[in-house]
Structure 1
Amino acid sequence: MGKLILVGTPIGNLEDISLRALKTLKEADLILTEDKRVTLKLINHFELGKKELFTFNEANSEKIMDTVLSLIESHNITALVSDAGMPVLADPGFNLVQRCWEKGIPIDVVPGPSALTSALAVSGFPASKFLFLGFLPRDKKLRRLLREIKEFEYPIVFFESPNRIKKTLQEILEIFGEMDVLVAREMTKLYQEFFKGKISEGIKFFESKDQVKGELTVVISPARRI
């Protein structure tokens, strides 16, 4: 029987990868990846050699589950990676991990960078407790969710796309009222940028840009409304 290892990879800067992650990826007989092109860049950069890659993502995870389980059992070490950061967190893979537990397949984890914890740390908000929402729903579902968590007293963290950030902040302002917010863009990458201020200021900040690019992590302050 094989072994599944969850491997954290950099969220941007490749220098953030751990020695243990490199060792694990080098020893792995099979790597399950969201996007082969992204993982190949990592493998080639660190000269980890020729690797067997198998695509496992949100679109196909349920359809190919039995195939993937058979592959894990037929290989000595299988590594699961996401395109960036820790696999399973707002990424596919929880169902695979659960099935491995059910089948008695050994599981290990190689911790690594996370946009979630990185944004919380740099926000300056107290973060002994927080609510992580992953990627937010849209329109009516978003407004329903915001009304449900309106009174939450700890930081709220979520991922957002560049083309939706202004609308999402506007929805939060209308339902929550004025709050402090941190928006982290392209963390650890060349064009890393942090905005911290009031939500209304954040809306103006992003409206002033011709185009917003990159990956965004948003942290809403636990402070009471102004």
Structure 2
Amino acid sequence: MKTSATEAAAKGRLYVVATPIGNLEDITLRGLRVLREVDLVAAEDTRQTRKLLSYYQISKPLVSYHTHNEAERGPELIHRLQEGMTVGLVSDAGTPGFSDPGAALVARAWGADIPVTAIPGPAAGIAALSMSGFTGDVAFIGFLPRQVKKRLEFFQQLAQEPRILIMYESPRRLGGTLQELCRTMGERQILVVRELTKLYEESWRGPLAAVTAELSSREIRGECALVLSRPEHLQKPTVDVKGYLLEAARTTRKRGRALALEAAEVLGVSRREAYQTYLALKAARQIPEE
């Protein structure tokens, strides 16, 4: 619902503030200004947020807001917003609303006609995607199920997803997750990043089987972001062998195996495919005799 300027002036405002996912320098100037100006900061982990505020010499009242107290703390924060307070909502790290309870408070604010403003910034999934080199539509999965049975069913369903996949995983479950991904989505490429933006950041990229084998003997520490490419068969561009042969036959004197060989080299298809296509066109008299 849209809020008018008059109504907004009588109420507070909820600011959804993105904070660093590791390196404390990864916060925008606007984000710092808003944290200095709001009346209250609602944090998923007050200890982490206190480190950030202390680093930038910001002194603000902090209240905890997380999954276990959302039911009671959510209405309390809405009440404060309705009284005219401004609240900065921050997650443990990154952008609130992705795999954390932030979305619930934002929904409550909209329901109470409280203005909501986003202060964009770091997001682990987007950062990992930007360094993957994978292109195409994207699906954000977030944290994976913990129970074994649910995970197996989840991966089987996810295998049908044609988009790039972004997910988060703990180092303790990473090895098993990679093996499950190999069984269900083996044709994909993967990027695995641990400790993203931190001092000991590491990344591995390549075919799922290769990365899984490489990490099988490694002790991985720190939260991991995973980016899986689209299925390989969807990445190959459609090749018009028939169109190429018809055009080449019209503009050159090449025929037979010579023309098929040229098509195979130019288009990156097999010689057999190119020659079979040529024979079919010739049989249909679409390619004239020499």
Q: TM-score, normalised by structure 2?
A: 0.74
Q: Counterparts of 1:47-196 in structure 2 under 5 Å? A: 47-48=57-58, 50-127=59-136, 129-138=137-146, 139-196=148-205
1:2 deviation in Å? 1.2
Cα distance in 2 for residues equivalent to 1:160 and 1:200: 18
The structure 1 segments of at least 4 consecutive aligned residues displaced by more than 3 Å after TM superposition are none
What code does the residue aligned with 1:195 have? W
Cα distance in 2 for residues equivalent to 1:101 and 1:179: 39
Give SS of 1:123's match.
Answer: coil
| Alignment partner of 2:35 out of 25, 50, 67 | 25
Cα distance in 2 for residues equivalent to 1:67 and 1:11: 27
Q: Which residue of 2 aligns with 1:220?
A: 228
What code does the residue aligned with 1:141 have? K
Cα distance in 2 for residues equivalent to 1:68 and 1:206: 44
1:76 deviation in Å? 2.6
On the 8 A contact 1:29/1:75 being kept in 2, the answer is no
On the 8 A contact 1:30/1:75 being kept in 2, the answer is no
Q: Which residue of 1 aligns with 2:52?
A: 42
Q: Which residue of 1 aligns with 2:16?
A: 6
Cα distance in 1 for residues equivalent to 2:169 and 2:226: 7
Give SS of 1:101's match.
Answer: helix
Give SS of 1:24's match.
Answer: helix
Q: Is the radius of gyration larger for structure 1 or structure 2? A: 2
Give SS of 2:25's match.
Answer: helix
Q: Which has the higher contact order (CA 8 A, sep 6+)?
A: 1
1:218 deviation in Å? 0.2
Q: Which residue of 2 aligns with 1:15?
A: 25
Cα distance in 2 for residues equivalent to 1:111 and 1:200: 35
1:75 deviation in Å? 4.8
Q: TM-score, normalised by structure 1?
A: 0.94
Structure that is richer in helix per residue: 2
Percent of aligned pairs with the same residue? 39
Unaligned runs of 5+ in 1: none
Cα distance in 2 for residues equivalent to 1:31 and 1:181: 37
What code does the residue aligned with 1:215 have? E
- After TM superposition, the structure 1 stretch with the greater mean CA deviation from structure 2, 182-191 or 66-75, is 66-75
User: How many residues are aligned here?
Assistant: 222
1:65 deviation in Å? 2.1
RMSD: 1.4
| CA displacement 1:5-32 (0-9 Å, x = unmatched) | 0001111111111000000000011000
What code does the residue aligned with 1:16 have? D
| CA displacement 1:31-85 (0-9 Å, x = unmatched) | 000111100100000011x211110011111233221211233353100001111
1:177 deviation in Å? 2.4
Cα distance in 1 for residues equivalent to 2:74 and 2:199: 37
What code does the residue aligned with 1:208 have? S
